Amino acid sequence: MSKNLTKRSEDYSKWYNELVVKADLAENSGVRGCMVIKPYGYAIWEKMQAELDRMFKETGHQNAYFPLFIPKSYFSKEASHVDGFAKECAVVTHYRLRTAADGKTIEVDPDAKLEEELIVRPTSETIIWDTYRGWIQSYRDLPLLINQWANVVRWEMRTRLFLRTAEFLWQEGHTAHATQQEAIAEAEQMMNVYADFAENFMAIPVIKGVKTANERFAGAIETYCIEALMQDGKALQAGTSHFLGQNFAKAFDVKFATKEGVQEYVWATSWGVSTRLMGALVMTHSDDNGLVLPPNLAPIQVVIVPIYKTDEQSEAISEEAKTLMAKLKKLNISVKYDDRDTHKPGFKFNEYELKGVPVRIALGPKDLENGTFEVARRDTLTKEVVANTAIVAYIQDLLEEIQTNLYDKAKSYRDSHITEVNSFDEFKEVLEGKGGFIAAHWDGTTETEEKIKELTKATIRCIALDRKEEPGKCMLTGSPSVGRVLFAKAY
Amino acid sequence: MSKNLTKRSEDYSKWYNELVVKADLAENSGVRGCMVIKPYGYAIWEKMQAELDRMFKETGHQNAYFPLFIPKSYFSKEASHVDGFAKECAVVTHYRLRTAADGKTIEVDPDAKLEEELIVRPTSETIIWDTYRGWIQSYRDLPLLINQWANVVRWEMRTRLFLRTAEFLWQEGHTAHATQQEAIAEAEQMMNVYADFAENFMAIPVIKGVKTANERFAGAIETYCIEALMQDGKALQAGTSHFLGQNFAKAFDVKFATKEGVQEYVWATSWGVSTRLMGALVMTHSDDNGLVLPPNLAPIQVVIVPIYKTDEQSEAISEEAKTLMAKLKKLNISVKYDDRDTHKPGFKFNEYELKGVPVRIALGPKDLENGTFEVARRDTLTKEVVANTAIVAYIQDLLEEIQTNLYDKAKSYRDSHITEVNSFDEFKEVLEGKGGFIAAHWDGTTETEEKIKELTKATIRCIALDRKEEPGKCMLTGSPSVGRVLFAKAY
């Protein structure tokens, strides 16, 4: 198969769009802004889900499911939430269609108008806190640690596969606690779970931090986030975890009796990651030859391609391949033997490169003769000839090495793209040239933050949790600052 | 905890509604007809999902995800589909809200009206076949074997938790094949997968059959189904698998090039089961004391309740319990140790009975002295004292025995509730008295079928696949019949 993929250096954005479609991850649908996640892409998402779900359960959370629809009035209950969220939404106004006068087409039945419109959930705080009122009476009911896997809809005007779609898949955790400290600890814990997942499972290094007031989630007191850096020097918010204070408890009247019998409002968190992570995965590791998948996320970790001319050769190779497959499967390595006779080896090599399969083994008559396998790794595009006595341990080690190598490579790129600047001119120069995160002093006001965004399109990605206290002067206004924050252009 | 559960003999319907809520499976939400699936109920659903997903993948299917919204015009493309489906739907007409003149509430922005309304999917044939047109060009692309886990919405006027809700969760398989025979074989295979799942995993005996023309899925040539019988003598359709012929391929213009290079329309199937299975689970096995769960579906298979007076006793019991837990967990048995000191043992016993935990172990100072455990089984409500040297094997066997016993019990009830009748009077008598499936001759016309429904509320549940050819006369019209069909009142 010929890849015909635009080079990253030519047009990064075009490269991304093409790659997502050509590698069979997703495609646009007939419904504006909504994507179809194709089987290969969905298999990767399932691996993310399984690992996250395991991590959530290990930290004491349970799954549940809440309604897709939220009555319009619910959004007005938490004042700052409605401002931030309820505007660009899909609104259900009717509940019936009827056959039109032409007898062929269908139309909305005007008699079936809802008394109160329903919003397709853009996030579920309101409906969930309306439910929690019935679940929480006493301190014995706390903490309540719930997660939901669901689809959500935000009516985006400009959409891009995985990165920004009208409908997307995600998980949203919603927890209730007896004390402020416990809720803050939960929000921090989930940020750490996300960072652990991104780094150790997806091989994506992230910076942990908090958002500025301006970039906070609508209704949150504090938004924790993990920020990743893509290969084009733009940042991507990979996950957020919010400390919501008592805002939703007050809006939905959720109180509990303390041990001492006092009625108090409950403390809340919410946290989520979405199919956006698929976009981060593609843009962190992939190259001009196609997708590059960390072994942890690869639906096929090893592919074996036979090379033969005669039926006799094919049979002998197939036998050897099947012996190896059995050994690898025992080690929980997912392996595919591609013996399609409708395609040539060269076509298959290209296809698996495009689809990011970490390890490709070619097996021909010469290999059989010599007792060897030709092993190619996707991350470095290098090949090695390995003896069949050593192959199983070699593959096992190689998968670990690829996982580590991808992380190291991404981290080295990221680390070399955090630049300290001390003036606004320097800031603009780095932003337009090298890109990446820019560590600069800022006076702490929303006005300055917005002014910088207006002038440069850069936003404050986060105030890193590990930043050093370092007095300085705001690069734009010269006003005092207590430490640098990280700016970047972002997805 | 006191259960306060209505008895089945008093009011079966009330018993069901109360049980679903009291056992923490689900509850109604603030959104008309939409339920909240609570963590305990969702954990059971997750077990169903995991097993079904495994079975689908073992039979060669892959998961994917298609849009929640379907443009209105798509429904008009397959003529019989629109008649059967597109009427009672949630319709999205607008994509934005705005703050109302009062500055507090929000309202639909009249300027944000969609050009074409979007329907929240009631089932996904149309959007999926619109997508398949781009995926299928040649015989090499077939068969296409895809499944989707998703939420769907059908605007039901009368809703009941799990059994009939406006929004529900399900899986829908959509496959494309080169030949009619292959598609029919797929539809039959998936009916068999469902039957296997219902019987061997859920312990629910089912009858495999095909629907009459009148009861077929809108757009199907043949609808295969599995029908179960609830304890009140009413039937419940537990899963359907449809052979769709070339109807959707023609409606959405999906053709493929055969090996010989001829363009032909593709053959299709679709098949699904939903959270309705949760209702079937409750109504098949549970009793007046609460839920009864087959061990395969129980989030907690074994619960250990300590009984003690002094701290010393508590410590010794806890040690013994933890030793047992470790052994059971090694065998993949899920076990919970309930050492809450806020509740008494009697309260806990009641709670786990209500929640259907298959095996309960009580452990007190006397047991410790004697080296025994008191083991209670939920299905028979009997107790046994077991020596600690034998306990692990005993529990392992017991869980299997409970699984088998529940199936046998349900099957014996079902088998004794299939009644052959030869006149319409006899039919009405059995229907109003004993209930269950009634095997009767029918003349094969939709008119007669509808007349019987009108007169008795009974419908033809299916024409069983294993029915014997037996000429007879229709119980209503006296016209000739080739074999008996199964009638019942149904959920």
* Region A278-304 average pLDDT: 98
Share of chain A above pLDDT 70, in %: 98
The answer to whether B106 contacts A36, with C-beta atoms less than 8 Å apart, is no
Confidence at B422, pLDDT banded by 50, 70, 90: very high
The answer to whether B96 contacts A97, with C-beta atoms less than 8 Å apart, is no
CB B30 within 8 A of CB A121: no
Tokens 């192959």 belong to A391
pLDDT of residue A101 exceeding 90, the answer is no
For residue A126, the chain B residue with the least C-alpha distance is B30
The answer to whether B63 contacts A69, with C-beta atoms less than 8 Å apart, is no
The phi and psi torsions of A37 (rounded to 5 degrees) equal -90, 115
The phi and psi torsions of B196 (rounded to 5 degrees) equal -60, -45
Share of chain A above pLDDT 90, in %: 92
CA distance A164 to A153: 11
Burial of A413-446, coded b for 16+ CB within 10 Å and e otherwise, reads bbeebbbebeebeebbebbeeebbbbbbbbbbbe
Q: Does A70 touch chain B (CB under 8 A)?
A: yes
pLDDT of residue B28 exceeding 70, the answer is yes
Chain B partners within 8 Å of A119 (Cβ): 97
Nearest residue to B360 via CA among B371, B370, B350: B350
pTM of structure: 0.96
Second-level CATH architecture of B295-401: 3-Layer(aba) Sandwich (3.40)
The answer to whether B63 contacts A82, with C-beta atoms less than 8 Å apart, is no
Burial of A471 (0-12, 13-18, 19+ CB in 10 A): exposed
* Region A354-365 average pLDDT: 97
Shortest distance between the Cα of B296 and any Cα of chain A, in A, equals: 19
Shortest distance between the Cα of B410 and any Cα of chain A, in A, equals: 29
Domain positions in chain B are 12-91+119-285, 295-401, 418-488
For domain A12-72+122-285, give the CATH number: 3.30.930.10
Confidence at A156, pLDDT banded by 50, 70, 90: confident
Shortest distance between the Cα of A329 and any Cα of chain B, in A, equals: 15
The answer to whether B97 contacts A89, with C-beta atoms less than 8 Å apart, is yes
> Rounded mean pLDDT of chain B?
96
The residue length of chain B stands at 491
The answer to whether A39 contacts B63, with C-beta atoms less than 8 Å apart, is yes
Which of B34, B69, B76 should one mutate to test binding to chain A, selecting the residue with the greatest count of A CBs within 10 A? B69
For residue A24, the chain B residue with the least C-alpha distance is B135
Q: Are strands B302-306 and B359-363 parallel, antiparallel or unpaired?
A: parallel
Chain A partners within 8 Å of B68 (Cβ): 34, 120, 151, 153, 167
pLDDT of residue A173 exceeding 70, the answer is yes
3-state SS, residue A241: strand
DSSP string, B300-362: -SEEEEE--SSHHHHHHHHHHHHHHHHHHHHTT--EEE---SSS-HHHHHHHHHHTT-SEEEE
Q: Does A64 touch chain B (CB under 8 A)?
A: yes
Q: What is the ipTM of this complex?
A: 0.96
| Nearest CB partner across the interface for A36, out of B65, B71, B73 | B65
From the candidate CATH numbers 3.90.1150.10, 2.40.10.10, 3.40.50.800, 1.10.3210.10, the one assigned to the domain spanning A295-413: 3.40.50.800
* Region A417-439 average pLDDT: 98
DSSP A468: P
Report the pLDDT value the prediction gives residue B86, as an integer from 0 to 100.
58
Report the pLDDT value the prediction gives residue B100, as an integer from 0 to 100.
87
pLDDT of residue B225 exceeding 80, the answer is yes
The answer to whether B155 contacts A95, with C-beta atoms less than 8 Å apart, is yes
> Rounded mean pLDDT of chain A?
96
CB B347 within 8 A of CB B332: no
Report the pLDDT value the prediction gives residue A2, as an integer from 0 to 100.
65
For residue B391 the two structure tokens come to 């306990």
CA distance B283 to B285: 6
The answer to whether A87 contacts B67, with C-beta atoms less than 8 Å apart, is no
CA distance A29 to B66: 8
Q: Are strands B372-377 and B459-464 parallel, antiparallel or unpaired?
A: unpaired
pLDDT of residue B2 exceeding 70, the answer is no
List, for residues A200-252, the tens digit of each pLDDT value. Answer: 999 999 999 999 999 999 889 999 999 999 999 999 999 999 999 999 999 99
Question: Is B418-488 in CATH node 3.30.110.30?
Answer: yes
**When comparing pLDDT for A81 and B410, which is higher?**
B410
3-state SS, residue A116: strand
CA distance B315 to B322: 11
* Region B315-341 average pLDDT: 96
CB A95 within 8 A of CB A112: yes
Share of chain B above pLDDT 90, in %: 92
Tokens 């002014």 belong to A451
* Region A376-380 average pLDDT: 98
pLDDT of residue B10 exceeding 70, the answer is yes
CA angle A183–A185–A187, rounded 5-degree value: 70
CA distance B370 to A295: 53
Nearest residue to B151 via CA among B110, B185, B121: B121
Amino acid type, A297: L
List, for residues A106-143, the tens digit of each pLDDT value. Answer: 899 999 999 999 999 999 999 999 999 999 999 999 99
Range 288-347 of A in CB contact (< 8 A) with B: 342
Confidence at B465, pLDDT banded by 50, 70, 90: very high
Q: Which of A394-403, B72-81, B219-228, B251-260 has the lowest mean pLDDT?
A: B72-81
Confidence at A85, pLDDT banded by 50, 70, 90: low
List, for residues A16-63, the tens digit of each pLDDT value. Answer: 999 999 999 999 999 999 999 999 999 999 999 999 999 999 999 999
CA distance B438 to B420: 6
Q: Does A93 touch chain B (CB under 8 A)?
A: yes
* Region B164-192 average pLDDT: 98
Report the pLDDT value the prediction gives residue B85, as an integer from 0 to 100.
64
List, for residues B352-380, the tens digit of each pLDDT value. Answer: 999 999 999 999 999 999 999 999 999 99
Burial of A371 (0-12, 13-18, 19+ CB in 10 A): exposed
CA distance B420 to B481: 14
Report the pLDDT value the prediction gives residue B3, as an integer from 0 to 100.
76
At the top level of CATH, the class of B12-91+119-285 is: alpha beta
CA distance B34 to A130: 14
Q: For chain A, first and last CA: distance in Å?
A: 31
pLDDT of residue B29 exceeding 80, the answer is yes
Amino acid type, B368: L
